[in-house]
Structure 1
Amino acid sequence: MLIVLLLFSFSVQLTSQKNDQSSEDYKLIIFSEFCYDQFFGDSELNNECISDTISRTISILMVAFAIMNQLPQILKIFKSQSTQGISFNSYYTELYLFSFITAYNIYKQTKFILYGENIIVGLEYCVVLSLFLFYDKDLSFHQWLFKAVFFITINTPLYLGLGPQWIFDMTIYINMSLLFMARFLQIRLNCRNRNTGQLSLLTQLQNYAGSVARLFTLFNDNADFSYMVYVLEDNIMGTILLIQIFNTWRAERKRKRNNHDNITELTGKGIKYDQI
């Protein structure tokens, strides 16, 4: 079933690349023809070219390094052999988000580099969700299989052009709801457990840095306002998760320090008693 999910995500990537109808030619990947002449020619360099080049560079780097996004989380699960503190429903809900945001950008004919990282990270989410089969005893294979089939059934029509028009118009608002729901489920689990379990700090930092960088590129490219609000929401929810992780670390360090002080105090008393 993991193979099915991976093939589905790969087909989404191919579809999005075919629908990327940006006709502007670039030199050395990051320079438009106009900006290339300004950077390397005798023309005076203007701020617009600098901003556009930086924006495109950030977008390309985000797509290229998206493969690193969930790698720390995957390695942490493998190392601990546990998914404790990680919400399956949060990851599953956010997988819909990546799929819908890709469908939305294909529909809007957005440049591929402005959303390509969603496809790659979606693949990694498939891997994380598959790990729950091995390390989450509360999740049965039949439950996981049902969710996988349901996901494919819901999303396939979007990429075959069979979905109703209003869905594409409402996709960004659906994604806002999915983002809030996915992050809320993880935040609520963290509050309930009073710790963040096996949630990877490095992965959350990458998510946060990526959302901040993406917000810059969207403002620079005059992207759809609703998409900007969606990315801003991602920034806010990501900030809350980071605060929870840091609070967990601080509480854990305080607990270890108190235990160390207690052991030292008991040892000191023991030595004093022996001397008497």
Structure 2
Amino acid sequence: MVANSTIIPAFLVGWIQIVVPGDCFDEFFVKFNFLHVPCLKITISKCLGFAIILGSSIVKLPQVIKIFKAKSGQGISLVSVTFELMAISASWAYGAGNNFPFSSYGEAIFLAIQTGSIAFMILFFSGKHMHAVAYMSIFVGSMAFLLSPAAPKELLATLQAGNLFMVVASKMLQAVANVRNGGTGQLSFVTFLLLSLGAVARVFTSIQETGDSMVVASYVLASVMNGLILGQILYYWNVPPPVVVEAKKVK
């Protein structure tokens, strides 16, 4: 309960408590103890969490736009994207199923939508229109189940534990594809830079808000693996895409 001596107008109290919850509101705005370390950690974590969620709503748009403009997903591994989508979806379902604060997992919702769109375009622009529709149908149906009360907590925990494998597998598959292709194709530098920064920030917020070792470990690995792909994009920066030479038709 907020004391009456707070300097904050009543209409703003509810909004501020989203990032400065409970007793920390009193520490800051009633007792004016702005150096209260535990509350500083909570507030920084909340602010970072919501900033990550806000950023996640657009983080993959550069990648989406790049594929859409090129009408091609050349150089992007569909298997890698699928593993990434599975990892993101598992984090979303696990966070929601365990009633974690929205600020600790909310970005997974936006990342799943954008990653699913990338997978859809990879298939669609390769001429596999029905495959693209089937892919998205399976994804939507799976998430509808995982987010429902019918999904067992044990299943959600198993999927989250599998995140460690899926995070590494998704990025290693893409890294190997980049080496084989001698370039990074339609991968977006901006997207992977933002993903790397977001994953690093998520390590701190996950420790602070969930204390779940599986969640923390998955973000540590995501930081490392996103950094690997980012390094490849920089390494292959000036490498032109491979030229496909069509064979001459024999008359």
Q: TM-score, normalised by structure 2?
A: 0.81
Question: Is 2:239 the counterpart of 1:252?
Answer: yes
- What is the aligned counterpart of 2:79 among 72, 75, 89? 89
- Cα distance in 2 for partners of 1:28, 1:169 equals 30
- Structure 2 unmatched ranges of 5 or more: 1-13, 241-251
Deviation at 1:159, TM superposition (A): 2.3
Aligned length: 226
TM alignment of 1:18-37, pairs within 5 A: 27=16, 29-37=18-26
1:37 maps to amino acid: D
- Structure 1 unmatched ranges of 5 or more: 1-24, 254-276
TM alignment of 1:206-221, pairs within 5 A: 206-221=194-209
- Aligned partner of 1:235 in structure 2 is 223
- What is the aligned counterpart of 2:46 among 56, 62, 65? 56
- Cα distance in 2 for partners of 1:63, 1:165 equals 24
* Deviation string, structure 1 residues 229-268 (Cα, Å, up to 9, x no partner): 111110111111111111101x539xxxxxxxxxxxxxxx
Q: TM-score, normalised by structure 1?
A: 0.74
Deviation at 1:54, TM superposition (A): 0.9
Deviation at 1:167, TM superposition (A): 1.3
Aligned CA-pair RMSD: 2.2
- Aligned partner of 1:186 in structure 2 is 174
The structure 1 segments of at least 4 consecutive aligned residues displaced by more than 6 Å after TM superposition are none
Q: Which has the larger radius of gyration?
A: 1
- What is the aligned counterpart of 1:39 among 21, 28, 46? 28
- Aligned partner of 2:10 in structure 1 is none
Q: Does the 8 Å contact 1:196/1:248 carry over to 2? A: yes
1:240 maps to amino acid: L
Q: Does the 8 Å contact 2:74/2:185 carry over to 1? A: yes
Change (3 A) 1:152 1:43: closer
- Cα distance in 2 for partners of 1:109, 1:31 equals 19
Q: Does the 8 Å contact 2:184/2:232 carry over to 1? A: yes
- Aligned partner of 2:244 in structure 1 is none
Question: Is 2:213 the counterpart of 1:225?
Answer: yes
Percent identity of equivalent pairs: 27
- Aligned partner of 2:69 in structure 1 is 79
- Aligned partner of 2:248 in structure 1 is none
Q: Secondary structure, in 3 states, of the residue corresponding to 2:73?
A: coil
